[in-house]
Every structure is written in C-alpha cells, then in structure tokens.
C-alpha cells in the first residue's frame, strides 16, 4: 500500500490516531486529531508527545504508553474511568447553534511493530459522546415511562417488606428465610445442587446494649449486617433471625468451602465497629449445616445449623462448627485432630505443595507459592481450612510456620543450585507468626541456614492482618524489608485498607483475591474491581498478581489490563516439588536436571 493511500485512509477515520516511537516522538497525527485539538499534523509530527498532548505524557495514560513500548502490553482508558487524566477537547458544534461540544473519550493504547523495526505505540482515541448522550436520553425516557408503575409497585413492596424483612437491618427475617429455603430445596432432597446454611450468633451482644443503649445497639446490628453482606458472594442470602442471630444461605458449596466462608465472615465481624468515634469489638460463633446431608427440608436444615451453633459457642469466641462434626462426635474428633497435629511434624506428615506464578506477558515462570498440606495417616489429606485454625488456636502455628519457611527456602535454593530458576518463593505468614516479636529473627536465621538470597523470598500477609495493628505492622515490615525480602498482600480487595494507609507500607506485590478473578467476564463489577486494583498497584509502584485464574478469558482480560503475574489452575494446580520440576521441563523444555 502506498504511503499516500495509507495517509488518506488514516485521515478518513472517524477517530484519532497517534503513533509514537520509542522516544515518544510523534510519527502519525491524523486529520481527526487536528480537527478536535486545533493542532495540525505539520506542527505535531516530530515533536515529543509531552509537547503536543501533555495529558498523554503523564499519569495513567503515560504509564500505559510506556508499558506498550517496553513490555508490549495493551491498555484501555476512558474519560469516565480516568477523570482529569485525558486530554480535554471542546469545539463549536457544526449545526450552526454556536454551542460548545465536549468530547467524552476512550483511548486504546497498544504496541505495534513490523519487520524487526523498533516497537512503536499506537493510540486510538474515540469520541463516545454520542453513545453517552443516547444512554442519558434513554434513561430519561425510561424514568418517565416507569414513574407511574414504580409508584404503584412501591406501595405493594412496602407491604411485603414489612412482612418479610427486619426493620432494623433491612435483611430478610426468619419467616422470609424459611420461605426461600423451602423454595430452593426440593421436599424429597433430590435434584438440587447442594448448599450450606450458616447461623451466626454475636457473643456478649447484650453487654453492648446495656453499655450503650438500644439505639446504639441497633447501629451495631446494622454494621454487622453490612459486614456479613460484604463478606459473602453476590446473590448469597443474608438474614436476621433474632436479636443477635444472623443466617447466611450459600448455594452450591460443600462442607469445606462452607467452613472457609464461615471463617471469612467471622474475621470480617471481628474488625472494630465504630460507635460515636469509639471502637467496639465483637466476635461471633457460627454453626453450619449442609444440604441435603444435614437436613432434606428447610426446617430440619435450619435446626441442624442451630445445633451446630450451640456446639460452636461451647468451643469459644469466633468458633465455626459443622453439624456433622458437632453431632456425630462433639468433642473427641477435635481433640483427636489436635493431638495428631502435635505429632504431625515429628512424623513428617506435613508436606509442601508448590503452585507456579506465571509472569505476563511472557508467560514465563516468575515464582512459586508454597502451600501447606497435611497427610493424616488414617484420614488422608485434610483441608487447610480445617487444621490451620487449630494450629493458630493451640500455638503450633509458630513451629509449623517455621518448618514451612525453612522447607520452602531450602527447596528454592536446591532448585537454584541444580539449574532450575523458580523466581521467588512465596510463603504465607499467619497472624500469630507476624505478631510474634521474634519473627524477623526467625526469618533471618532461616535465610542464613538455607543460603537462599533474601530477594528470592516473598512473604505473604493478608490485608486484614496488615490493618489490624498498623504500628506493629510498620515495625515488622521495616525489619523484613531491611533484609531485602519481598512482601506481598494476599487476598487484596477483601479487606478495608485505604489508599492513604496502603502507601505507608513497603509492599512489593498486591495479590487480587480469587473471589474477584473468578467472575471476570461474567460480572462487570468484578471486572472494574480487578482493573482498579491493577491500576492502584501500578500507581503505588507495586506489581500485581491475580489468584484463581482458571480460564483463557480471564487470562486475556488480565493481560490486556496490565496485570503482571497470574496464579491458578489455568496453568497448574499446586503440586509436590518433584512434579513441579517435571511441569517446568514439559512447559519450558528445561534440559538441566532438578
């Protein structure tokens, strides 16, 4: 294609086209750009991008340009998602009215190259104002048409709400919960996907009411309702059963996932609640029943969960108990499990599995996460959701955590010495470990004993833990960073850290929680959350890893939005060390032995 024809085609496009070279000199500036900016191609071509369009040479846009030039990543920006960071164009409307038109923009930034030439960056700027205006017009028309219908439906809904919902929290009440359970569960216990019902009780809530009064007590109940709703998945039902008792219906999950969700909820509730500028701390016990094993009908299932709750109260604050475990063997099973834990290290029953962390866009191995597994001699592999809380409760987590750290570091060093480069090895740190004053010294001793370079170790702490005791967190992180260790925030997005707080900490990596990545492509809110976390991480100079990536659609979305690393079943499940070497050889054609 001749250059004149190429230029004519580019100028005919109803969108802006800018091409810059590696030094950000403008090579292409089409007619659309001249029209909306008032800057001709003769004046723009050859100049630096920052001289012509300074908005595109700073902030989010400039970071996207650099990612395209340096790493080959594509990005999407818009006026709505990046207010104040994109060029602001206005011009007189062509209808003769003299009115001023403001362009609502979207910008696609991507790398381009051909025949071995140096990489360039293409910026495509589209005017989406018409779409925005049409959406506004349709919304206005819809509101006019629906006004009468809404008024009539509101009257009917108010009557139904008073009969089905708790007036204090706005949640479904016991009657509504039973009705929905009855609809969801077949009477004969068949043709259902299964599910769990959680019943939670606030410990010592009566003291809050007596100390602060019922009006403030109602405020705490509303706070509790919000916390539970935020902790669960969209579509899960949350209800208030009584004065200080709540319930959650979790469709489509079994016992182990239900136990994990219960602990997540109790962790959310344990965070301080603000009452007249005073922090109030609560804990909750939780009973869990699984459909259809623990009750084929709604009433039976609810009663089973309440019986499990009774057992959970006996076990102590924040305890979560399954109905089968509470009824079949209310005490000996837990005691037996706890006793077995004491012997597990000596008997070498704990094992480490490793899950690859894959860098983007290269899709090369950038690290591995070490994950603790327990192979019980009689029960086989036991879920970490079941035994890790027991380790925390009885203090064994310090001993086991040190074993995990040392084993993972020693394995990583062995890989390095035998020719396999695993990148960084990531190790999870429990709350009790992190709060232990001797933890930094333990890490230092392990690194010296295993000879693993500190920059090869990444310690993962949860967002909730980081925010719980901020002064202690800052001290501990400063000690760890002084050694050269990397620090990652695990399950990011599930806690309450603010940008102002987050930037105080020397964090290297944010890990997007799997609850957001699992819905990529199906849930616009989760799409937006993932892109926001990626942008936030890059803004703060951090890398971003997405957990729970299982599909090619999720991979493409995360790569397109600049995610640095992914982890999940799409590439590999957690596996023993020897299997990881085989996986690496098969995927990357490793010739050296490991």
pTM value > 0.95: no
Q: Looking at the domain 3-127, which fold is it?
A: Beta-Lactamase (3.30.450)
Please report how many Cα atoms fall inside a 13 Å half-sphere around the Cα of residue 386, on the Cβ side.
21
Q: What is the dihedral of CA 325, 326, 328, 330, to 10 degrees?
A: 110
Question: How far, CA to CA in Å, does 240 sit from each of 165, 176, 197, 299, 308?
Answer: 8, 10, 13, 16, 17
95: CB partners within 8 A, 6+ apart: none
- In whole angstroms, what is the distance from residue 497 CA to residue 492 CA? 9
Burial of 584 (0-12, 13-18, 19+ CB in 10 A): buried
Secondary-structure class of domain 174-329 per CATH: alpha beta
- CATH code, 338-588: 3.20.20.450
Cα separation, 297 vs 292, whole angstroms: 8
**CA-to-CA distance for 311 and 484, rounded, in angstroms?**
46
Measured distance CA(43)–CA(207) in Å, rounded = 74
Distances (CA, A) of 468 to 220, 272, 387, 474: 19, 9, 23, 11
pLDDT value for 315: 78
Per-residue pLDDT of the chain (594 residues; tens, 9 = 90+): 456 777 788 888 888 899 999 999 999 999 888 888 888 889 999 999 988 888 888 888 888 899 999 888 888 887 666 566 566 555 444 444 554 456 666 788 989 876 567 888 999 888 776 666 666 666 776 676 566 566 645 655 554 566 678 888 889 888 788 888 877 765 544 445 678 999 999 988 887 777 777 788 888 899 999 999 999 998 899 999 888 899 999 988 888 899 999 999 999 998 888 877 778 888 899 999 988 888 777 777 888 898 888 888 877 778 899 987 555 544 445 556 666 777 787 788 899 999 999 999 989 999 999 999 988 877 778 778 778 877 877 778 888 999 999 999 999 999 999 989 999 999 999 888 888 889 999 999 999 999 999 999 999 998 767 766 778 888 899 999 999 999 998 877 655 455 556 777 888 999 988 877 877 877 777 788 788 888 888 888 899 999 989 889 999 999 999 999 999 999 999 999 999 999 998 888 644 444
Domain spans of the chain? Answer: 3-127, 129-163, 174-329, 338-588
Cα 138 to chain centroid, rounded: 34
The vertex-18 CA angle with 16 and 20, nearest 5°, equals 170
The token duo for 478 is 């400063």
Closest CA to 224 of 168, 162, 303, 174: 168
User: What is the pairing mode between strands 365-376 and 424-428?
Assistant: parallel
């Amino acid at each position: 294609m001749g250059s004149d024809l190429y230029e004519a085609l580019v100028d005919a496009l109803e969108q802006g086209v800018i091409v810059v070279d590696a030094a950000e000199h403008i090579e292409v500036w089409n007619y659309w750009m001249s029209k909306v900016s008032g800057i001709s191609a003769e004046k723009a071509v050859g100049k630096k991008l920052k001289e012509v369009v300074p908005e595109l040479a700073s902030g989010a846009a400039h970071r996207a340009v650099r990612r395209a030039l340096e790493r080959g990543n594509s990005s999407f920006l818009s006026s709505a998602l990046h207010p104040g960071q994109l060029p602001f164009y206005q011009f007189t409307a062509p209808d003769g009215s003299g009115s001023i038109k403001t362009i609502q923009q979207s910008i696609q930034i991507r790398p381009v190259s051909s025949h071995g030439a140096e990489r360039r960056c293409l910026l495509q700027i589209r005017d989406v104002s018409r779409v925005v205006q049409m959406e506004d017009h349709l919304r206005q028309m819809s509101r006019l048409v629906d006004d009468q219908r809404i008024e009539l439906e509101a009257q009917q809904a108010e009557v139904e709400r008073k009969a089905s919902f708790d007036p204090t929290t706005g949640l479904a009440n016991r009657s509504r919960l039973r009705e929905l359970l009855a609809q969801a569960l077949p009477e004969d216990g068949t043709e259902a996907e299964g599910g769990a019902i959680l019943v939670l009780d606030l410990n010592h809530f009566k003291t809050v009411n007596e100390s602060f009064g019922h009006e403030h007590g109602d405020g705490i109940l509303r706070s509790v309702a919000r916390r539970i709703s935020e902790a669960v998945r969209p579509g899960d039902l949350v209800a208030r059963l009584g004065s200080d008792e709540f319930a959650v219906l979790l469709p489509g999950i079994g016992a182990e996932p239900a136990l994990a969700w219960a602990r997540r909820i109790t962790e959310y509730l344990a965070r301080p609640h603000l009452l007249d500028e005073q922090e109030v701390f609560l804990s909750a016990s939780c009973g869990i029943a699984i459909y259809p094993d623990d009750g084929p009908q709604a009433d039976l299932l609810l009663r089973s969960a309440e019986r499990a709750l009774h057992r959970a109260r006996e076990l102590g604050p924040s305890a979560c108990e399954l109905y089968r475990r509470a009824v079949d063997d209310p005490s000996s099973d837990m005691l037996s499990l706890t006793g077995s834990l004491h012997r597990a290290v000596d008997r070498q029953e704990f094992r480490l599995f490793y899950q690859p962390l894959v860098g983007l866009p290269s899709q090369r191995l950038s690290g591995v996460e070490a994950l603790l597994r327990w192979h019980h001699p009689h029960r086989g592999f036991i879920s970490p959701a079941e035994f890790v809380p027991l380790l925390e409760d009885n203090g064994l987590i310090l001993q086991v955590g040190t074993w995990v750290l040392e084993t993972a570091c020693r394995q990583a060093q062995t890989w390095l010495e035998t020719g396999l480069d695993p990148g960084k090895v990531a190790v999870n740190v429990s709350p009790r470990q992190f709060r232990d004053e001797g933890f930094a010294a333990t890490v230092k001793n392990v690194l010296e004993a295993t000879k693993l370079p500190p920059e090869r170790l990444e310690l993962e702490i949860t967002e909730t833990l980081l925010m719980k005791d901020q002064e202690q967190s800052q001290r501990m992180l400063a000690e760890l960073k002084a050694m050269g260790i990397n620090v990652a925030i695990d399950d990011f997005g599930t806690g309450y850290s603010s940008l102002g707080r987050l930037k105080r900490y020397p964090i290297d990596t944010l890990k997007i929680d799997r609850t957001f990545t699992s819905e990529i492509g199906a849930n616009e809110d989760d799409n937006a959350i993932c892109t926001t976390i990626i942008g936030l991480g890059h803004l703060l100079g951090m890398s971003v890893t997405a957990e729970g990536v299982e599909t090619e659609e999720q991979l493409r979305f995360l790569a397109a939005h600049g995610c640095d690393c992914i982890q999940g079943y799409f590439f590999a499940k957690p596996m023993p060390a020897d299997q990881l070497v085989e996986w690496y050889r098969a995927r990357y054609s490793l010739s050296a032995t490991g």
